[in-house]
Amino acid sequence: MKRIFIVSLLSLFYFIPKSSAFCGFYVAKAGSELFNNRSQVVFVRDGNRSVITMSNDYQGDVSEFAMVVPVPTVLSREEIRIAKQGLFDKLDHYSGPRLVEYYDHNPCEPQILYEVAATMEGSNRKFRSTKTLERDKEDYQVTVEATYAVGEYDILILSAKESDGLKRWLTDNGYKIPAKAERVLEPYIKSNMKFFVVKVNTKVMKMQGFQNLRPLQISFESDRFMLPIRLGMANSKGTQDMIVYTLTRNGRVESSNYRTVQIPSNRDIPTFIKGGKFEQFYVDLFDKAYRDAGKNAVFTEYAWDVSPNYGGVKCDPCVGPPPIVSDLLDAGVWWIDERSYSQVFFTRLHVRYSEEKFPEDLFFIQTSDKERFQGRYVMRHAATGDLSCDEGKKYVQELEMRRGKELKELAALTDWNVAKYTRYRQDGSGWIDEKLEMDKSDSPGKTGKGAAPGMLLLLGGIFLFLFLNYIRDLRQIANGNR
């Protein structure tokens, strides 16, 4: 038994490729579609060039759909294109948080290997309505810099002299501008930003036979590695979730003006968190992490080298297929081709922003960090069969302790009332005793940090250094007085 356990633990800390090294695995995912009020963006950036793809998973009447995005330059027709419908799903499935299941080997039986893999499809997309558009123009000190028809979209690029004029222009042209928008428009106008205004041409859409709006992709040169989140906040009082998939050349992307935190990962969780419960688990885990980080952090959910010729594994385990060259090209990665040895690094950032906690637009920097990261949660299933041998009895004891730890971990990660799971320690079931109240002893503490003792030792060393120096100074004083 011991050997098996060590092997599965090892596979936790080192990224062993999918093989029979551990006793079977199972995969499920918590995709971004779980979060309401969410938007998704693919941000490709290298040097001063940005390619931004926006997912328009808008569910309402498309004739009502409109969107205003501040952009740094007047985009040419070639700089606007439509990306493939499946791009976001592919990136989302590939990089979403994952559940890994291991099956304990019965210590009283010879070892058999299992391998199960499956994915779960998400459902129910929700998107907040943005603004609405119609037609016409007058003199509002607003210049229509360009108009384009791109696929099912009619696009205008506006520049304005002052926010009041722009607001009137938009309102008179049938856009429903949120009351708060005006004072947010002003800073963008003064920063020399243009406005990329999109509405849907329903005739073209009917002709092309598309059911959903396809992702819109824009590219431009700008010093700003930034997403203008402040304008979107004018819409709502609450929070909005945004998933940003970045593709860069050198390494991981992080925010440069907000804290970037890794989502808790590689944690052992109870085996009853299956099916739809895993999704709920991740939603609650994110919510807790978000609150613990002061509601103003950006979370890294995934970071991996996805270079086309990268030799290592591209995920461990894979929930969805890793992006291939055609996906990267579709996302707008311009520095690769089928044969070249070009580098591409993928980062998935999840940010829940609100007007109060995110007063500034979201700026990013690319680091040289190539370390892999993924949101990964581990489930260990108990061995089955006759466990009456000596090893087996010991195993059962260890199992109960392990399950206790898993419950504590669950509470620490999600704030769930784990005291209700009265039977889990004994039989591994997710049966809930609804009558029980939260047991204080099981109340979540800080999630465990392995390096805490080492860090304390380090600090201890520094204090010892200070103390010895202090004693030395005192002696020097005494000597000096003599």
Partner 1 sequence: MQLKLITQNVFRLLKGLTDPRYFQILFLSSFLAFGVFSLGWSVQLQNYLLIITTCLTVQALAIYYLDLPLHSLRSALITSLGLCLLFKAGEPAYFILAGLLAIGSKFVLRFRNKHIFNPANFGVVAPILLTGNTWISPGQWGSTPLLLFFFGGAGLMILFRISRLETGLTFLITYAILWFSRDVIYLGWEPTVTLHKLTNGSLLLFSFFMITDPMTIPNNKKVRIIWSACIAILTFWVVSTQYIQSAALWILFLGAPIVPLLDLLFPAKKYQWSVPENTSNSISENLKTQLA
In terms of CB distance, is 83 or 184 closer to partner 1? 184
In terms of CB distance, is 226 or 325 closer to partner 1? 226
Identify the residue among 191, 208, 384, 429 touching partner 1 (CB under 8 A): 191
Q: Looking only at residues 361 through 380 of this chain, which bind partner 1 when binding is defined by CB under 8 A?
A: 363, 365, 367-371
Identify whether the C-beta of residue 207 lies closer than 8 Å to the C-beta of residue 149: no
In terms of CB distance, is 321 or 448 closer to partner 1? 448
Residue window 432-451: x/- pattern of binding to partner 1, with contact defined by CB under 8 A: -----------------xxx
In terms of CB distance, is 306 or 349 closer to partner 1? 349
Is residue 401 close enough to count as binding partner 1 by CB under 8 A? no
From the list 123-131, 260-268, 396-404, 409-417, the region that binds partner 1 by CB under 8 A is: 260-268
Identify the residue among 134, 138, 360, 433 touching partner 1 (CB under 8 A): 360
Q: Cα separation of 210 and 205, whole Å?
A: 6
β-strand partners of 51: 44, 219
Q: Cα separation of 306 and 450, whole Å?
A: 29
Is residue 235 close enough to count as binding partner 1 by CB under 8 A? no
Q: Cα separation of 201 and 63, whole Å?
A: 7
From the list 289-297, 303-311, 377-385, 434-442, the region that binds partner 1 by CB under 8 A is: 289-297
Count, residues in the chain: 482
Is residue 178 close enough to count as binding partner 1 by CB under 8 A? no
| CB-count burial class (<10 Å; 0-12, 13-18, 19+) for 284 | middle
In terms of CB distance, is 178 or 404 closer to partner 1? 178
Identify the residue among 389, 436, 455, 464 touching partner 1 (CB under 8 A): 455
Is residue 293 close enough to count as binding partner 1 by CB under 8 A? yes
Q: Looking only at residues 96 through 135 of this chain, which bind partner 1 when binding is defined by CB under 8 A?
A: none
Sheet holding 27-29, edge to edge: 27-29, 98-103, 376-381, 267-268
Residue type, 65: F
CB atoms within 10 A of CB 180: 15
Q: How far is the CB of 193 from partner 1 (least distance, A)?
A: 11
Is residue 342 close enough to count as binding partner 1 by CB under 8 A? no
Identify the residue among 10, 113, 436, 458 touching partner 1 (CB under 8 A): 458
Residue ranges in contact with partner 1 by CB under 8 A:
163, 183, 186-187, 190-191, 223-226, 250-251, 254-262, 293-294, 296-298, 359-360, 363, 365, 367-371, 449-452, 454-455, 458-459, 462-463, 465-466, 469-474, 476-477, 479-480
